Structure 1
Amino acid sequence: MTQDKLPKNLGRRQALIRGGLAAGGLVAASVAPAAQAAKSAGKQQWDHEADVVCIGSGAAACSAAVTAAGLGAKVILVEKMPLPGGTTGKSGGVTWIPNNPLLRARGINDERTDCLRFLARYAYPRQYTPNSATLGLPDGSYRLLEAFYDNGSPMIENMDKLGAVRFREFKMWFVDKYAPDYADHLPENKTPRGRALEPAVGASSAGGGASLAAQMEKWLAAKGTPILLEHRVTNVVKDGDRVVGVEALYGDKLVRIKARKGVVFGTGGYAHNASLCGLPSDGPGGGQHEAAPRRCLRVAGRRALGREPAQTRRARRPRAQLPDAQARRHASGRGRKRRTDAVRRGCARRGDAADRARVDLGRREKRLTPVPFGRASK
């Protein structure tokens, strides 16, 4: 159909579609795969179906599940391990929430502006710019910090209101004093005590996390929320650009779970995944502990959607050495050798004959015998 033969009452939408089809089939080529995907998505067979599917069973996934179920949504929790709780179950269960209701009850106002500056300074030390409207952060990262501050305290109140978990202020075990905050020496940290909370029931250095997860799981079970254990999510099912479910392996069986409204990844604990630990980090420690919830959720979400984590596009930072790696390095003698060689080179440059003699004497000392990792020396 040529332009002069188009009906006079043709709408804008139809004109755009027909104009695109007339331009060599460009629109048809791009629309066809999406239409085919929608058609195939409608024919898919599902083993389970819910409004919201939460992946994981630790504090992140369970709090998302409790919130959704509290709003009346049908929820399914999916966990790859035979027991629920995730990494939270092995932790002390301490939760870091700025401007929480327990702080305000003591008359302490954790100001939003000050807290955002502290979060930006601590979590993004390289990008932090005090005079910037977004404190030097990309817009998405800044909005994430805003969302954390704005929703953290209401989440604590909502958990209490629903009867899922009640929190209390965290104090150091056996000392009964408020624990110092992360980087409490930074000038941006205006509230260096009181942001840390713990479950009011079952709190301890070893069992607080298990109690936190168990309380939310008990609440979900009472609401009839299925918890699918030993289901390892392997794929995200999409209808065009929209996520409509996940695929999981239960033994050798493929299980398909439909999500009518959304999929939430609460799969923390990435320190157990060697490939994720190898990614660069922006945090001051350069390792796996910095801003872990923020980072692991972003990595899991981007990879589930077939995208590389954003941080792989940034410059690498020196990795923080773990204690066992340092111990093995010392046991092998490499650390001493490098230090001795460095001193010897420095002495040689200065031309200090006496120092060179002392270093040479030290090099003739018996070296530590390398010990294979996991075996005791004789």
Structure 2
Amino acid sequence: MPAGERRLDVTWDERFDVIVVGSGAAGFTAALTAAADGASVVVLEKAAMTGGTTRKSAAWFWVPNNRLMRAAGIDDPRDSALQYMARLARPAEYAPSHPTLGLPAEEFAALEAFYDHGDEALAALEELGALDVGGVMEFPDYFAHLDEDVPKRGRSLWPAAAEGGQQGGQVLLEGFHRAADRLGVEVRTSTPAVDLVLGEDGEALGVVVDGERGRQRVRAERGVVFATGGFTHDPALRRDHLRGPYVGGCAAVTNTGDFVKLAQAAGAVLANMQQAWSAPIVLERLQRDPGGVAGSFVIPGDGLIIVNRAGERVLNEKAPYHEQTRAFFSWDPVSGRYPNLPLIAIWDEQVAATVGGVDFGNPVPPAHVDAYWVIGADDLAGLETAIAERLTAVGLAAGHDRLAPDFEANLRRTLARYGDFADSGVDLDFRRGETPIELAGAAMFGPGDGANPTMRRLSETGPYYATLLGPGTLDTKGGPRVDVQGRVLRADGSTIPGLYGAGNCVASPSGEAYWGAGGTIGPIFCFAYLAGRHVAARVGAAA
């Protein structure tokens, strides 16, 4: 039955008060909240295991005015927090004197709701035993240097037991499952929801699932909450909607835009479809291991630079990963190509020996792994040859698969210029090492001892190493527009009764911003919590 078809004569195989589709941070938060409010809840997961992209993540969450900040005496005023979020969400529209700071009214209302209810959502999850909040109050926001950021720090949190490490997502899911068991939430894997069942007035009555029990219709007496992730792994949706030539991403491979298609057929309006949570990604790791690859959230080492196919630096290598990714989308109107696609990270032996690791998508490998993605050579001439060969093997589009004829000469000039900046401590080209988040990253992942702790002149002798980077997504952040309660909206602003969405499958009020570490999951907790509360209190139509 195609989504959008009105049916009054449905035979239901099962009934629950609330159906939640998806089992990551958004899905579990909505399910646990609804169950705690007395609803019978089933969680339907498309994959063979729960967790989605959350399982792969460190599960940091960015929440303004949280209780750890307050306990530490860090003030986070509402007006300035809203200004910080709005300034980055819509930088071309931001107007500090405007009643909604220049944002569309519905986006501003969502930012207000996030400030007002974000910590409330954390408290609710803690009370349910699903989460134990930890964090280090000194960790700065990604744009702590902006005047709009008053507290500068303290908003990035994590599951306490993980202590900020890569295993945070697994720790979070263990807590979710324990709480789900206590609350009687039924969780089914390998059970995709393939269709919506709509009533005569367009109300979402339930879903069609195709799982181990065969194709069945499951009734939601109060509502259906979709939390199925974005469309990272649907190449057609990426091509049609994203703002640049993303090569893929590190979201769960099941994130194929399912809710975009179902909600559109049900009459939903889409928003923010051009935006994604972004990070550079190692191309060869993406090609070989699309399910396990991570974005390069950390690119450590003071003796490492990133250049384009002409051998020139084009970005601040220590800027937040989301901001680095914007450099890939530069367009050359003369050649008719993207000159920064791909980019090439280059480092020396000291970096290779000191900062290799497997967490957070580090492109510099430790000694014990098969570093198939690393290109190595004894000198710069050999490195150019090896990079050129690897570019051809990777199979990029014509024109993006070869180096400029003067790559080696340009690279030598680039290295000399970078070395002079490192010696002086000031990067006159890209201001590397000037912001609090860059210095915090250097302190965590390998600071240098020079005038600028993020910079060091690369060795004048080899060996040298390199890898190819492309623009990737953590996941997309566009989809059906929802209100602050998670209700899916039509183009005229009316709600589709009984249909909710949360997480990366719906339009994010963050716009194009990435406010700080955990900027994905923090809002997800808040809005999934609000959706869970609202759907649990709803009285649906008889069917």
Instruction: Give the structure with the higher percent helix.
Output: 1
Aligned pairs for 1:75-90 (under 5 A) are: 75-90=41-56
TM-score, structure 2 normalization: 0.48
Amino acid at match of 1:197: L
Q: In 2 relative to 1, CA 193–288 (structure 1 residues): closer, same or farther, beyond 3 Å?
A: farther
Q: Which residue of 2 aligns with 1:331?
A: none
Q: In 2 relative to 1, CA 326–249 (structure 1 residues): closer, same or farther, beyond 3 Å?
A: closer
Contact 1:266 1:297 (8 Å CA) reproduced: no
**Inter-partner Cα distance in structure 1 for 2:276 and 2:170:** 33
Aligned pairs for 1:1-378 (under 5 A) are: 37=6, 40-41=7-8, 43-169=9-135, 171=136, 178-239=138-199, 240-250=201-211, 253-268=214-229, 270-278=231-239, 280=241, 299=260, 302-303=263-264, 305-307=266-268, 309-311=270-272, 322-324=280-282, 335-336=309-310, 368-369=388-389, 370-373=391-394
Task: State the shift of 1:52 in Å.
Answer: 1.4
Contact 1:265 1:297 (8 Å CA) reproduced: no
**Inter-partner Cα distance in structure 1 for 2:125 and 2:166:** 22
Q: In 2 relative to 1, CA 163–73 (structure 1 residues): closer, same or farther, beyond 3 Å?
A: same
Q: Deviations over 1:170-210 (max 9, x none)?
A: x3xxxxx7322122222211122111111122445221111
**Inter-partner Cα distance in structure 1 for 2:36 and 2:279:** 43
Task: State the shift of 1:371 in Å.
Answer: 3.0
Contact 1:265 1:300 (8 Å CA) reproduced: no
Q: Which residue of 2 aligns with 1:356?
A: none
**Inter-partner Cα distance in structure 2 for 1:93 and 1:318:** 17
Contact 2:242 2:276 (8 Å CA) reproduced: no
Amino acid at match of 1:266: A
Instruction: Give the structure with the higher percent strand.
Output: 2
**Inter-partner Cα distance in structure 2 for 1:319 and 1:102:** 26
Contact 2:131 2:172 (8 Å CA) reproduced: yes
**Inter-partner Cα distance in structure 1 for 2:277 and 2:164:** 31
Q: In 2 relative to 1, CA 335–213 (structure 1 residues): closer, same or farther, beyond 3 Å?
A: same
Q: In 2 relative to 1, CA 251–115 (structure 1 residues): closer, same or farther, beyond 3 Å?
A: same
Alignment coverage as a number of residue pairs:
295
- 5+ long unaligned stretches in structure 1: 1-33, 172-176, 290-295, 329-333, 346-364
**Larger of the two Rg values belongs to structure:** 1
Contact 1:265 1:301 (8 Å CA) reproduced: no
Amino acid at match of 2:26: A
Work out the percentage of aligned pairs sharing the same amino acid. Answer: 33
Q: Deviations over 1:299-347 (max 9, x none)?
A: 57844635462345xxx7999784445999xxxxx933999xx9x99xx
Task: State the shift of 1:83 in Å.
Answer: 0.7
Q: In 2 relative to 1, CA 302–164 (structure 1 residues): closer, same or farther, beyond 3 Å?
A: same
Contact 2:226 2:259 (8 Å CA) reproduced: no
**Inter-partner Cα distance in structure 2 for 1:218 and 1:246:** 26
Higher relative contact order (CA 8 A, sep 6+): 2
Task: State the shift of 1:218 in Å.
Answer: 1.6
RMSD (Å), alpha carbons: 4.0
Amino acid at match of 1:115: A
Q: Deviations over 1:129-178 (max 9, x none)?
A: 21211111111111111121111111111112222212112x3xxxxx73
TM-score, structure 1 normalization: 0.67
**Inter-partner Cα distance in structure 2 for 1:83 and 1:181:** 33
SS in 2 for 1:201: helix
Question: Larger deviation: 269-278 or 58-67?
Answer: 269-278
Task: State the shift of 1:226 in Å.
Answer: 0.8
Question: Larger deviation: 89-98 or 122-131?
Answer: 122-131
**Inter-partner Cα distance in structure 1 for 2:142 and 2:261:** 25
Question: Larger deviation: 247-256 or 60-69?
Answer: 247-256
Contact 2:64 2:118 (8 Å CA) reproduced: yes
